[in-house]
Structure 1
């Protein structure tokens, strides 16, 4: 087989690996052999594009992280002034995680460092969330954004792993309560004499 015959096999290999992450599983990219079988090619064909499983893992992480960033940014770009953008961002993040469970685990439940491609995207999305968090806590927007991310991650991760639990609310309802709690905390901190609802 030559590179000229590869029918964009590299993209097929990445797509096959992503397809195998359709269900939660151990935090690992499927083996090169299993991905080759999914694409109907010999394992040796994979090495034209990925010299090792680590190279394939990095390509899958890049593709899936890009997908997450685009999902959140697209949701935010579609909002108007009447929408709570922190709620919109959280809903998009949670929905992506629920729809890509194996990939979510690989991205956020492993100790992989962020290579340059994801590091370049990360601050772009991070900066946008921090700016939104400034609306509810202008004194500590970065800490507030990280707190929200930790909460969103918990909503996704626990629901992926503890499917037998009765959560008593949808993931979207949980997100709204989290955002409201952050805003309420800020209101109580800045207005300590303001009466609270019983």
Structure 2
């Protein structure tokens, strides 16, 4: 078949000739994507992992951020690397998190929820009272050891805990849960000022022990942790 026939005003491409022309055009430009409108949530088809679509991009970015800090310090988190691993453009990341600080703040929030959930799980398996308080103390230390970078991030970037507030009844966060559990074992007539001191003592013990272990000054030893996180200061 003749590749094309010529009329006085127009060349009409037929058969094999048309296929050759179309193939040449595709080599020069991508006819499927060159005219695609810019979309901040569009995926990079060449990205690692082969992701095609994210129903909740913000959640996917946070999940990848958590994955990064599970293997390295929070300071090494890279928004561009997160974009590449999730499979989206850097512009898409910046729409949800305009800078690294915004992402780290979101990771802090996730960490606080994880710690609260860990506390609730521990309390659900323990009777109320002094045993519950000690279990929460050990749970705090174990969470820090199991999530070192996230824990450090939470302690440096999260909003200041309302540790000096005498009444934590309306709070539901991790620190409030620890404080309320301590309040259950203190004498009912304990003055508010002394309650505050006891809360500070409890937090200082579990937090200080956590940091000493994370910094390599003490071993990760369950018996030692249980002995330190005890009722001795009550």
TM-score category (smaller protein): 0.7 to 0.9
Instruction: Report the Cα offset of residue 124 of structure 1.
Output: 3.7
2:229 corresponds to 1:182: no
Task: Note the alpha carbon deviations across 1:43-69, whole angstroms, 9 max, x for none.
Answer: 122123222222212211111111111
The alignment partner of 1:51 has SS state of coil
Q: Which residue of 2 aligns with 1:128?
A: 180
Q: Which residue of 1 aligns with 2:102?
A: 55
Q: Which residue of 2 aligns with 1:149?
A: 203
Deviating more after overlay: 52-61 vs 169-178: 169-178
TM-score (normalizing by structure 1): 0.73
1:87–1:176 contact (8 Å) kept in structure 2: no
Structure 2, unpaired ranges of 5+? 1-38, 43-52, 162-170
2:146 corresponds to 1:92: no
Q: Which residue of 2 aligns with 1:31?
A: 78
What's the Cα RMSD here?
A: 3.1
CA distance 1:24–1:45, shift in 2 (3 Å):
closer
Whole-Å separation in 1 of the counterparts to 2:72 and 2:134? 25
Whole-Å separation in 1 of the counterparts to 2:91 and 2:114? 28
Equivalences, count: 175
- Larger relative contact order (Cα-Cα within 8 Å, sequence gap ≥ 6): 1
Q: Which residue of 2 aligns with 1:186?
A: none
Structure 1, unpaired ranges of 5+? 184-198
TM-score (normalizing by structure 2): 0.63
2:41–2:92 contact (8 Å) kept in structure 1: no
